[in-house]
Chains A and B, each alone.
Chain A
Amino acid sequence: MLDELYQDLILDHHRRPRNKRPCPACSCRAEGANALCGDSLVVGVSLDGERIASVSFEGQGCAISQASASMMTEAVQGLSVADALALGGELRALLRGEAPARDLGDLQSLEGIARFPVRIKCALLPWTTLEHALAPPAAREERR
């Protein structure tokens, strides 16, 4: 059960996070936090039109939130904003225990978290923060 949660790939992303660096010049930035855990991170995105040219994160948190952030930066690189948001939706479904319609690549390794309900928010923190970074404030209001 534990190995399902902390898969090798997750621990690898936790130990050697990809794209973990400050991005003061990023055009879109947002901060996210899970106050309960004390996890906090900043996601920065540079857009090239509607396409994500680069994405990075910084901050601190548990292995799950850090690994999920690292995987996210690789997964959304080069995607359109709409596709990146849709991918976040697919990950949410995976964490609810739903079988994905397609192979989600490295993100698939997060599926074991579905059996640890209190940890789902750890995995989603980077994605929620990414959504805030991408969505202009007006659009965010509408989504509420």
Chain B
Amino acid sequence: MTLLRAAAATAARRGARSAELDLDRLRADFPALEREHDGRRQVYLDSAASSQTPRAVLDAMSRYYLEQRANVHRGDYALAFEATLAYEAARDRIARFLGAPDRRGVVFTRGTTEALNLVAHAWGRRHLGPGDEVLLTVAEHHSNLVPWQLAARARGATLRFLPLTEEGELDLSALDRLLTRRTRLLAVTGMSNVLGARVPLAALVSAARSVGARVLVDAAQLALHERIDLAGLGADFLALSGHKLLGPTGIGVLAARPERLEEMDPFLAGGEMVDDVTLEGATWNELPYRFEAGTPPIAEAIGLGAALDYLEGIGFAAIRAREAALTRHGLALLDAGRGVRLLGPRDPARRAPVFSFSVVDASGDPIHPHDLATLLGAEGVAVRAGHQCARPLLRELGLSAVTRASCAFYTSLAELDALAAAIDHARTFFSRPRARG
């Protein structure tokens, strides 16, 4: 433990010199980062699974529950007006954040998964048919794969997959072969939750558009790491989750070109999404409400809006600089000398500080990711072990599970040092001589 503390102190000094943000002050905004584990500060390296939430988000959500608590879009009283205004202001906030030109294209969902299912179901049902193809990549999260498997099965369409290069990046040289006049849609992750590799979205979008295909970007991982400019990018659909973007759980966004949404029937049906209803049928409400059946997650939408305020207060320039420092530090620590095999590109410019890896113990035997994660967890280092909801990708890489340590801009270099020290400890733990049972 002394080892960990010494490593942390060294890195804290180094971090104070290199980071432009006042990290201590910034981290104080995130109550959960203060949590202790066995008398030491907890080390949170699972931000790709769920980011931590700044107090400003909780305050905005509390304000709704304490002062503005009413349903939205109905009610002829002040509370209902205020709730509606706050909810719709969050939509404008998100449109601004994403560079979406039209608020009618910003649909609140429960998360990325629901947004992707919405498109696969409502757009796929209308636009996919026998002989049509959807191009995905082998690096997709299950939530941008399984909905398309179901849609393809229902509509007689075929799925194609862009492969990876040896370095763990998308192999764009295969685009010529895979993008054809049969391709109706390119559905691609903006950043793999496993590899951390940056994705050349602009090149992908323009290639897809040149054959007349629509483009969907799964931005669940991307959104915390890079500024998104939807209009500039020219994608048709983009999905993201609030809880990976400093916001609360239970809220996500589908941002789309309104003309795409106009040509789709609703996904979920119920209140709010209709215009007129008779016993025989219904007509649809205007956008975006056609895709928001039922009472929405109001507090969560407001919380997400506050999260984006917070994020833009920091600014993506500062975030990129912090992440570059974290990436370089992580790459230096997670190397073969430590028994670590790291996935994804080694060039810091080509990746975010999301590190998936396998580890061998001091005798050279592999440590199972769940054993490793349990050992790290016992030392207060929170990482994720398993297939990371990307089994096809891991199979492609010849692995059944990996350990992932993922950072956000609030992660400190000292936390990565603590990870390295805990890995060293685990390697000794599993290879040290034992009494016979």
Contacts and interface: CB of A to CB of B under 8 A. Distances in A.
Contacts of A2: 374-375, 378, 429
Contacts of A78: none
A37 B435 contact: no
B437 A106 contact: yes
A61 B378 CA distance: 20
Interface string B317-359: 0000000000000000000000000000000000000000000
Contacts of B401: 37-38
A51 interface: no
Contacts of B370: 37, 62, 64, 119, 122
B394 A38 contact: yes
Contacts of A39: 368, 400
Nearest to A4: B378
B155 interface: no
Contacts of B371: 6, 62-64
A1 interface: yes
A8 B434 contact: yes
Contact of A38 (B378, B386, B437): B386
A8 B386 contact: no
B430 A35 contact: no
Interface residues of A, number: 26
A1 B436 contact: no
Nearest to B367: A63
A25 B345 CA distance: 46
A36 interface: yes
Interface in A50-98: 60-64
Contacts of A60: 400
A11 B386 contact: no
A63 B437 contact: no
Highest count of chain B CB atoms <10 Å: which of A36, A39, A40, A122: A36
A48 interface: no
B227 interface: no
A36 B436 contact: no
A132 interface: no
A8 B378 contact: no
Contacts of A40: 400
Given A37-B370, A62-B371, A119-B370, A8 B437 contact: yes
Contacts of A37: 368-370, 385-387, 400-401
A12 B368 contact: no
B387 A36 contact: yes
A122 B370 CA distance: 9
Nearest to B431: A15
B96 interface: no
B125 interface: no
Contacts of B400: 37-40, 60
Interface string A1-41: 11001101101110100000000000000000001111110
Nearest to A66: B368
A39 B387 CA distance: 11
A12 B437 contact: yes
A5 B374 contact: yes
Contacts of A9: 437
B434 A63 contact: no
Interface in B383-418: 385-387, 391, 394, 399-401
Interface string A98-127: 000000001001000000100100100000
Contact of B437 (A1, A13, A36): A13
Interface in B101-121: none
Nearest to B400: A38
B437 A35 contact: no
A63 B429 CA distance: 12
Interface in B13-43: none
Nearest to A119: B374
A12 B434 contact: yes
B146 to A, nearest CB: 13
B387 A38 contact: yes
Contact of B435 (A8, A38, A61): A8
Contact of A1 (B378, B385, B429): B378
5 closest Cβ pairs, A-B complex: A38-B400, A62-B368, A9-B437, A12-B437, A38-B401
29 contacts: A2-B374, A2-B429, A5-B374, A5-B378, A6-B375, A8-B437, A11-B430, A12-B434, A12-B435, A12-B436, A12-B437, A13-B437, A35-B387, A35-B391, A36-B387, A37-B370, A37-B386, A37-B387, A38-B387, A38-B394, A38-B400, A38-B401, A39-B400, A61-B368, A62-B369, A62-B370, A63-B368, A63-B430, A122-B370
Given A1-B378, A35-B391, A62-B370, 11 more contacts: A6-B371, A11-B434, A12-B436, A12-B437, A36-B386, A37-B400, A37-B401, A39-B400, A63-B371, A63-B430, A122-B370
Interface of A: 1-2, 5-6, 8-9, 11-13, 15, 35-40, 60-64, 106, 109, 116, 119, 122
